[in-house]
Amino acid sequence: MFKAMLKKEFVLVLRDKHSLAALFIMPSIFILIMSIALKDTFSDDRAFIRYNVTDNDQSNISRSLSAILDHTTNLQQYDHAITDSKELQAALNKGLHFALTIPKGFSEKFIVNTSKNLLRLDVASEVKMDMLNLFKGELSNVLMQIRIEQMLQQFEPVVPGITAQINSQAIDTSDLVNIHFNGLPPNKIPTSTQQSVPSWIVFGMFFIIIPMSTIFINERKQNTLMRMSAMNISIPILFAGKIIPYMLINQIQVWLMIGVGIFIVPFFGADALTLGNSLTGLLLVSTGLSLAAIGTSMVIAVSVNSVEQATTIGGILNILFGAIGGVMVPKFLMPQSMQMLSNISPMSWGLDGFLDIFLRGLSVQEVLTEAFALAGFGIIQLLIAGLLFSRKKRNGI
């Protein structure tokens, strides 16, 4: 009996191009795009802050400032010359983050220690405060370095050899701190792939709401459910005949997307996905997520009356769960109140579980809470769907 139900459900999904696109192609493409788009954000190899310096002072100090900035790892000089304010505005709209203008007379003011409005900084409107603070920090370091060199030059005639002595005691700040990311081996840094794959797996899994609810509604409309009832198929058997195939479809999705992360993403220059330390944890969280997604699908499928309603409500619910649950905007970027709110989304629990495994390398014990919460949520939804459906059935399917 289940074999027939399983086969039927697979054939119906496989013959529905829209379902296939939503279940398999869309999340795979998301993973690819997001991993590639964000790869530099997680890399220390390439500077991601683009800046430009307009030196109207043309002094030794201003030239020194430009030169030191040029050697700073996090910064990348804008590759187009900017000669007037119009070009500057255009550049700030087209990818330039910061435009530093060194005004004429800067070096005189710097020497006499005038610290107010020494430089002008134009900032692109999309620049976030953390990026601005980072640039200001780099700029302060450079100015501090120039000031120290300048002071050493002043002291050199009084204390000969002081410059050499100070330079010999200088420390290399690049290796000063041994950075260790939680859950990762030493010298390993988190990658965009490790961050993106969990999000889009969670999001993709919930997309079964659409094929599952539309197939169920069509079965209601085409009276096949009524016929099945007359063939001794009870509600628990009918639901089991839905749950099992869609859990398998969800597992295929999970492993397909993991496959994309491991094998396809590296072809496009981003880092390959690594599986973490707990395959059991991964299976538990994905099974819990599956139940949550299937439960939600069934509640929608038995509550609404048309395929159009199911696709609209299913789509909206998916996006809302994703937005609240930290799929689209990472939770750590959200204000405290939003982070609290995100806990109402089952996608948030699933994402936490997957991040624990993929990103933090935690064990199965650490994801049991998320897995059971998701499974509980799914089972409650399925019970609600069962009650609603049996009531509808009594009144004629």
Partner 1 sequence: MIRINNLSKYYGTTAALNAINICIGKGVIFGLLGPNGAGKTTLISILNGLTTFQEGEILVCDLPLRKNLREIRKRCTFIPQFLALYDNLSVIENLHFFAGIQNISGTVLQNNLDYAITTNSLEKLLKQKAVTLSGGQKRRLNIAIGLLNNPDILYFDEPTIGIDPESRNDILSTIRSLKKDNKTVVYTSHYMDEIEKICDEAAIINHGEIIAQGSLDALLQTANDNSAIIELHYSDQTSLHLLTDCIDTLQVIDGSTLKLKQQNSTNMSALLKILETKQIAVKQIRYQSMDLESLFITLTASENSHV
Interface ranges with partner 1 (CB under 8 A): 1, 3-5, 7-8, 11-12, 15-16, 222-224, 226-233, 241, 396
DSSP category for residue 272:
P
Q: Which one, 8 or 147, has the nearer CB to partner 1?
A: 8
Minimum distance of partner 1 from residue 213's CB (angstroms): 16
Which amino acid does the sequence have at 91?
A: A
Within 13 A of 386's CA, how many CA atoms are on the CB side? 16
101, 122 contact by CB (below 8 A):
yes
Kindly tell me which of 2 and 372 has the beta carbon lying closer to partner 1.
2
Least Cβ distance, residue 185 to partner 1 (angstroms)? 49
Note the Cα 356 to chain centre separation in Å.
14
Smallest distance from partner 1 to CB 16, Å? 7
* C-alpha–C-alpha distance, residues 293 and 346, integer Å: 9
Helices 235-259 and 2-14: angle between axes, nearest 10 degrees: 50
Q: Least separation, in Å, of the C-beta of 12 and partner 1? A: 6
Nearer to partner 1, 96 or 310 (CB): 310
- Is the CB of 11 or the CB of 340 nearer to partner 1? 11
Least separation in angstroms between residue 223's CB and partner 1 is 4
> Min. distance of Cβ 8 from partner 1 in angstroms?
5
Instruction: List C-alpha distances in Å: 130 to 41, 134, 135, 357.
Output: 13, 6, 9, 28
Whether residue 370 contacts residue 345, with contact meaning beta carbons closer than 8 Å, is answered with no
Tokens matching residue 330: 């990472």
Residue (16 or 55) nearer to partner 1, CB: 16
Q: Hey, CA dihedral for 228, 233, 238, 241, is it positive or negative?
A: negative
To the nearest whole angstrom, how small is the minimum distance from the Cβ of residue 395 to partner 1?
10
Distance, C-alpha 31 to centroid of its chain? 9
DSSP state string for 180-248: --TTS-TT----HHHHHHHHHHHHHHHTTHHHHHHHHHHHHHTTHHHHHHHTT--HHHHHHHHHHHHHH
Smallest distance, partner 1 to C-beta of residue 309, A: 20
58 vs 223, which CB is nearer to partner 1? 223
Pick 4 or 171: Cβ nearer partner 1: 4
Which residue has tokens 């897995």?
371
User: For residues 139 and 120, what is the distance between their CA atoms, to the nearest angstrom?
Assistant: 12
* Closer of 58 and 305 to partner 1 (Cβ): 305
